[in-house]
A = this chain, B = another copy of it.
Amino acid sequence: MTSESSKTANQKTDQQLHKEKMQKQKERVDAQIAKNSIERGVAILMTGNGKGKTSSAFGMVFRALGYGQRVGIVQFIKGAQESGEVNFIRQHCDNAEIYQMGTGFTWNTQDKAADIAASERTWVVAERMLADDQFDLVVLDELTYMIGYKYLDRSKIIDAISNRPREQSVVVTGRGGGRELREVMDTVSDVKNVKHGYAAGIKARRGVDC
């Protein structure tokens, strides 16, 4: 056997081994796909202390809008500062309705009673969307803090999510939220902060951070 033909034989083996391994993996994947028979909206929680929770929710907003679906977005806390994704939606997306609590962070307002009143007004909008089957997707950005601060009643939030229309998906973002909320969600991702440019002295940046 020449060195060339030996090399070709080895390459073939590598290709063949790869093909066999991938064929087995395909069978596993296909079996899981065949097993999954439940068709309904999903409830997703993006939690944890790392970057990417709100941006993930908005990625799903555009995923839904790309199929012509109708989206409702309620932002707790946020709205006092400009954000690119909200700019974009206001300019380009008739199929999305957005409501912002707009108070800013608790350390800026420094007024608990006013924050509670604002969170209750904001919840009214969220509750209306969660009861309306015209919304294919509802995003409740930073809702978890309202539970953590005890600004909103946990059980009424869990009831509204549990009793939403069957085909409606919901995405909740924010750190914490508690065990009861996690239980009612179908999918929970815990976004861990491994490192953050902000801690290394890099300013928050338009287009990625806000």
Contact = CB atoms under 8 A, between A and B. Distances in A.
Contact of A42 (B53, B62, B190, B205): B205
A39 B207 CA distance: 13
A50 B189 contact: yes
A53 B66 CA distance: 18
A88 B59 contact: no
A113 B84 CA distance: 41
Contacts of A207: 60, 63-64, 66-67, 69, 136-137, 169
Chain A interface residue bracket vs B: 35 or more
Interface in A115-136: 136
A7 interface: no
A66 B86 contact: yes
A110 B205 contact: no
Given A66-B85, A66-B86, A66-B91, A19 B111 contact: yes
Contact of A67 (B59, B84, B110, B200): B84
Interface of A: 11, 14-15, 18-19, 22-23, 25-26, 29, 32, 35-44, 46, 48, 50-67, 69, 83-89, 91-92, 105-113, 136-137, 169, 171, 182, 185-198, 200-210
